[in-house]
């Protein structure tokens, strides 16, 4: 019996190349697997008039779709994977990514290798990893006014303003510091290679149970990124002295506007995301290729040089 007999196809952006890959997957896998297409991906196919060519598949909305599949294949970029992860994490359905974006930190399979790579996974040759998400809530005078979840990061930022904000940071109930800066990035290991990296934060191996906090353009040089245990309870209190109304975003979505005195609580989400990778998946090789790290050529040359 195949490792994943029931396969669902997903997409979050309607680009021609995304639709091409969806169509290829339907054609390549339809004969041997039970296929289902999530409603948004099906709409993209229909609008491109590709379903007029005899392709037959069941279509479902996200929740019903998740209950009927063993594996979801997401076609798109990392942003599409972030969206799908937030939607699917509670259903315990593993996700496999086909990269139709730019970097592809989360989507491992390139378009020119879809056939053999996907068949290898479906034959049982794959690596599964667990990634935790962050959940956040914003409270005002003890009442929750907004909430969200994030696979990459929760960010406190000033919106369109160019003025600094002031806030206090607490971890596990302990006061850490008060800070004047452009904001704060709170990232998972998965998100450590995204916005947090651009802000000067460290790269965390995705297997780590840790959270990184990265100040954004702090007013003092002593404000540095800090890595804390993954089960930490993080609290950000927006200073009463602020004239700004900072925003809180989760993976760049779910914008919540705060006011002075609001409290932002961030913690690890109990349910974790299941990601599927090809059997030769290697985090450090991905960093080398995506971030332009040096190769081993120089080291090999030095090691082989005659004394």
Query: Looking at the annotation, which residues are catalytic?
Result: 78
Cβ contacts of 137 within 8 Å, gap of 6 or more: 144, 146, 147, 264, 265
| Cα gap 233→261, rounded to integer Å | 19
Cβ contacts of 113 within 8 Å, gap of 6 or more: none
Q: What angle do the packed helices 114-122 and 16-29 form, to 10 degrees? A: 50
Please name which of 169, 162, 157, 135 lies closest in space to residue 263, comparing C-alpha atoms: 169
* Pairing status of strand 71-76 against strand 253-257: unpaired
Question: What's the number of CA atoms in the CB half-sphere (13 Å) around residue 234?
Answer: 30
């Amino acid at each position: 019996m195949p490792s994943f007999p029931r396969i669902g196809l997903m997409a979050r952006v309607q680009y021609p190349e995304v639709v091409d890959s969806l169509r290829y997957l339907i054609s390549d896998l339809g004969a041997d697997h039970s296929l289902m297409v999530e409603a948004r991906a099906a709409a993209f196919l229909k609008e491109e008039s590709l379903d007029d060519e005899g392709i037959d598949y069941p279509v479902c909305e996200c929740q019903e779709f998740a209950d009927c599949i063993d594996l979801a294949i997401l076609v798109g970029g990392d942003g599409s994977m972030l969206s799908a992860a937030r939607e699917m994490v509670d259903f315990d359905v593993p996700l496999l990514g086909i990269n139709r974006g730019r970097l592809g930190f989360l989507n491992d399979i390139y378009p020119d290798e879809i056939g053999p790579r996907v068949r290898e996974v479906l034959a049982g040759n794959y690596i599964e990893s667990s990634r935790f998400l962050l959940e956040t809530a914003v409270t005002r005078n003890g009442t929750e006014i907004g909430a969200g979840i994030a696979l990459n990061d929760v960010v406190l930022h000033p919106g369109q303003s160019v003025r600094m904000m002031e806030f206090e940071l607490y971890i596990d109930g302990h006061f850490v510091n008060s800070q004047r800066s452009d904001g704060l990035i709170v990232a998972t290991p998965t998100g450590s290679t995204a916005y947090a990296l651009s802000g000067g934060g460290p790269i965390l191996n995705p297997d780590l149970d840790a959270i990184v906090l990265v100040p954004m353009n702090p007013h003092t040089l002593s404000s540095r990124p800090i890595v804390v245990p993954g089960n930490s309870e993080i609290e950000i209190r927006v200073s009463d002295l602020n004239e700004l109304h900072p925003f809180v975003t989760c993976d760049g979505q779910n914008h919540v506007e705060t006011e002075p005195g609001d409290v932002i609580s961030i913690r690890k989400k109990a349910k974790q995301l299941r990601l599927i990778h090809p059997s030769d998946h290697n985090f450090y090789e991905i960093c080398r290729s995506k971030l332009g790290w040096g190769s081993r050529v120089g080291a090999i040359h030095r090691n082989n040089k005659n004394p």
